[in-house]
Structure 1
Amino acid sequence: MVSDHELKVVVLGLGYIGLPTAAVIARTGATVLGIDVDAAVVETVNSGRVHIEEVDLDGLVSGVVARGHLRASTQIEPADVFVIAVPTPFADDRSPNIGYVLKAATSIAAVLKAGDTVILESTSPVGTTEQVRDLLARLRPDLRAPGLGDGSDYAVAYCPERVLPGRILVELIDNDRVIGGITPRCARKALTFYRRFVRGACVTTNARAAEMTKLTENAFRDVNIAFANELSLVAETMGVDVWEVIRLANRHPRVNILQPGPGVGGHCIAVDPWFLVAADPDNTPLIRTAREVNDGKTDRVVARATALIEANPGVPVACLGLAFKANIDDFRESPALKVAAALADRFGNRIRIVEPYAAILPDRLASSGATLIDVDTAIERCPVMIVLVDHDVFRSIPLEERADKHVLDTRGIWPDQPALRTPRPLRMAV
């Protein structure tokens, strides 16, 4: 077994998962090379700084870079373990795009040698790990690929991340990991690697089961959020506070309803269920419907916000938050960003964006006429406020500073806020 201080690891992709993973591995004393196609990211990491917001990541990266355990490059080098942590987006037709994964595998093939381990961490459709193996087998016929004959010269496995932004460094270590190998031997080799830095349980299985496990976890959450979002629409019709209803319902010992919002965002929950739908459309009506409910909730918020703004002509409007969840700087697939962009397209320079985790507006908003302001300016100058993200700084605004505002609160962070309007009466069947 290679010792921690002799182990060479390459992490392909230095994004929200790749960089923390590389830094955590480097902290064990391994020599880690992070690969990214963005030269600016490489330069930032090599200077000991970070390009993403994550609790304690800046200090960890600074330390492991200073000690020589982590460096970054645009060019791959030989190693003992290769970890693929690149994006897996979906195309316009919602079909999965694994092009970045296959490109990463192609680069690995150029330096692959006997004894190496290749691990895919990117959330992927079922069968992707086998495609990685098949690609390596075609590009390196001089090496025996696992699962295609007697014996093998290298290992290929799948081990998805399952971390929460804002707690990534803790959860990379403490959370259980599901490790799926192309063969049982591949799973064991990957298990040995993860045991160097993971304190949680490491459970081995086959690659396809591990791939589907990751998709199942995110589809489960998406379906449950869709239920909460659908409840919020019903509660709006009935003139009931949905957050109070959920709070009371969750007092039942076997009920645990999640919280509604303006939709679902992020690199996992808003994307991964489509991988299951694309793989088996005939047997996934519930998963598809949940995706449609959550995407439709964003459209509903745009409509409600539009009505509120039009009812208050000429005044500036504060959109509170752009991130896909609280207290992070990640805007991927963010429903808050989609709402803000739609409103900025319609109302132009009346829209003020309040996002404490952004130094500049994203490209989608930059040309719309919207402006970036701070919380205090929003309180002073904006009679209309639309809460899109439950950042702590927004929760901290007391009632006396917002009591006279016209507020659309999509996150339920201000239960004491005066109501926007009297709910319309229901027509009851007789």
Structure 2
Amino acid sequence: MNKLINVIGLGYVGLPTALLLSENYRVIGTDKDEQVVQRLRSGKHSFHEAELQVVYEQSLARGITFANEYQKADIYIVAVPTPFLVKSKKVDPKYLVDAMNEIKAVCPNDAIIVIESTIAPGTIDSYVRPLFVDKQVKLCHAPERVLPGNIIQELTNNSRTIGADEAAVSEEIKQMYQSFCKEDIICTDICTAEISKVIENTYRDINIAYANELKKICTNMGLDTYEVIRIANYHPRVNVLNPGPGVGGHCISVDPWFLVGEDSENTPLIQQARNINDSMPSYVWGKMKQAIEAGESGHGKKVVGLYGLTYKPNVDDIRESPALQLYKQLNPEEKSETYFFDPLVSTKVVENQLTDFNQFLDSIDVLLIFVPHDHIKQKYDEVVKKKIKIFDTNKTFEQAAQV
């Protein structure tokens, strides 16, 4: 309990981690965004997440504090963004390096620095370790493994991997995570920990790409993709995923590129899977436009309403969402003839974004469902009454046209 932990980055991973650790440790959460820190100090957190409010209030009562400045601490947990560079596909280490330099300025010797951000294999050796050649610290990688929308349960019930140079460091950090994690915690070396997290999400990306490729094949053959997959999955060793309008989020749509960036020659399957999944937003849009132009939804120009701006159902996370990927690809005329709505996104992120669902329905002739939030399922009768043609990318409604 005497150990002080400074959690760096109070987003979807850092904040819940800080809150759970505060039950057994002294914790200070740091974020460079002054508004985030002000909200947390005033009793408000920044995103919608199951169980987060209860855990947050308990942590406040225990004395967790928040700051914009890095603190002198025994342990640092770093959960900052790690995007990829578009041209090279390599990890962009900017945020991580900035965080390391600020930690170096305040940390004592023998401090333990735990990087939770997902990074390419070799990142710590290439970008982090050289920064501390003149200061004695202990480096560790414990990649996060959470699913937005259920992060508290994921942090509590998912196994963890810890990579460190020394067994004693691994054991200390293992005990720290065991203060809230109920599942197995595996200790290994740093580079193995780095690559293991990346290949987890790459595996999922490849499987999603297979489902999306099947969707294109079945559509061309006039078959129901979902029925084909349902029947195939009766095989005891087959588990094909369902297709969708693309892949978003901060993990699956990003992490595979780290492997491509490190070894482009030996990753053709990974690259093709990424290309397939990246093609899906424009693919489903094109299929919808073809159906409209073929007269399936009536005559004349139609105003489209795109429902769902987040990257998955029932979360407010818009990072790398398929809808936003599509928005960037639309021409000015298409953007002007399309309205956007998401019940969980209150801030304006695209033009023609409406915040009132009834106004949204009254403004459109065609509804394209990108994200099957529970909200749209509950509002289905209202949509039907408007006699709006529905195009669906997720088999949300049996009666809707599938694209």
Pair in the same fold by TM > 0.5 = yes
Do structure 1's residue 337 and structure 2's residue 324 form an aligned pair?
yes
Does 281-290 or 351-360 show the bigger shift?
351-360
Gaps of 5+ in 2: none
Residue of structure 1 aligned with 2:284, choices 296, 301, 310: 301
Q: How does 1:234-245 map to 2 (within 5 A)?
A: 234-245=217-228
**Partner of residue 147, structure 1:** none
Does 184-193 or 32-41 show the bigger shift?
184-193
**Partner of residue 389, structure 1:** 371
Q: 1:413–1:295: structure 2 CA closer, same or farther, 3 Å change rule?
A: same
**Partner of residue 427, structure 1:** none
Contact 1:130–1:182, Cα closer than 8 Å, also in 2? no
Task: Report SS of the residue matched to 2:7.
Answer: strand
Does 325-334 or 410-419 show the bigger shift?
410-419
1:376-416 Cα offsets, whole Å, 9 max, x none, are: 44445532010101111122344684384322211111123
Q: How does 1:373-384 map to 2 (within 5 A)?
A: 373-384=355-366
Gaps of 5+ in 1: 144-153, 421-430
TM-score of the aligned structures, taking structure 2 as reference length:
0.92
Q: 1-side partners of 2:255 and 2:401: how far apart? A: 38
Q: 1-side partners of 2:196 and 2:372: how far apart? A: 29
1:60-113 Cα offsets, whole Å, 9 max, x none, are: 223312432x22211111111100100000122122101111111111111222
Contact 1:399–1:417, Cα closer than 8 Å, also in 2? no
Q: 1:196–1:131: structure 2 CA closer, same or farther, 3 Å change rule?
A: farther
Shift of 1:199: 1.0
Shift of 1:58: 2.5
Do structure 1's residue 266 and structure 2's residue 249 form an aligned pair?
yes
Q: What letter corresponds to residue 313 of structure 2 in structure 1?
A: A
Q: 1-side partners of 2:292 and 2:9: how far apart? A: 41
Q: 2-side partners of 1:230 and 1:210: how far apart? A: 31
1:110-153 Cα offsets, whole Å, 9 max, x none, are: 1222342110100001112234552342352xx3xxxxxxxxxx
Residue of structure 1 aligned with 2:342, choices 352, 355, 370: 355
**Partner of residue 317, structure 1:** 304
Does 333-342 or 80-89 show the bigger shift?
333-342
Contact 2:304–2:339, Cα closer than 8 Å, also in 1? yes
> What is the number of equivalent residue pairs in this alignment?
397
Shift of 1:267: 0.3
Q: 2-side partners of 1:110 and 1:256: how far apart? A: 50
**Partner of residue 149, structure 1:** none
Q: 2-side partners of 1:104 and 1:394: how far apart? A: 41
1:310-352 Cα offsets, whole Å, 9 max, x none, are: 5554443211101000000111111122224545733344322
Do structure 1's residue 225 and structure 2's residue 203 form an aligned pair?
no
Q: 1-side partners of 2:150 and 2:367: how far apart? A: 29
Q: What letter corresponds to residue 90 of structure 1 in structure 2?
A: F
**Partner of residue 86, structure 1:** 80
Q: 1-side partners of 2:47 and 2:383: how far apart? A: 32
**Partner of residue 353, structure 2:** 371
Q: 1-side partners of 2:337 and 2:357: how far apart? A: 16
Q: 2-side partners of 1:131 and 1:110: how far apart? A: 20
Q: 1:419–1:223: structure 2 CA closer, same or farther, 3 Å change rule?
A: closer
Q: 1-side partners of 2:113 and 2:400: how far apart? A: 53
Do structure 1's residue 177 and structure 2's residue 160 form an aligned pair?
yes
Contact 2:391–2:400, Cα closer than 8 Å, also in 1? no
**Partner of residue 116, structure 1:** 111
Q: How does 1:7-18 map to 2 (within 5 A)?
A: 7-18=3-14
Q: What letter corresponds to residue 81 of structure 1 in structure 2?
A: I
Aligned identity (percent) is 36
Q: 1-side partners of 2:79 and 2:401: how far apart? A: 46
Contact 1:106–1:135, Cα closer than 8 Å, also in 2? no
Q: What letter corresponds to residue 112 of structure 2 in structure 1?
A: T
Q: How does 1:245-284 map to 2 (within 5 A)?
A: 245-284=228-267
Q: 1:120–1:166: structure 2 CA closer, same or farther, 3 Å change rule?
A: same
**Partner of residue 65, structure 2:** 71
TM-score of the aligned structures, taking structure 1 as reference length:
0.87
Q: 2-side partners of 1:304 and 1:345: how far apart? A: 19
Shift of 1:308: 4.6
**Partner of residue 26, structure 2:** 31
**Partner of residue 46, structure 1:** 41
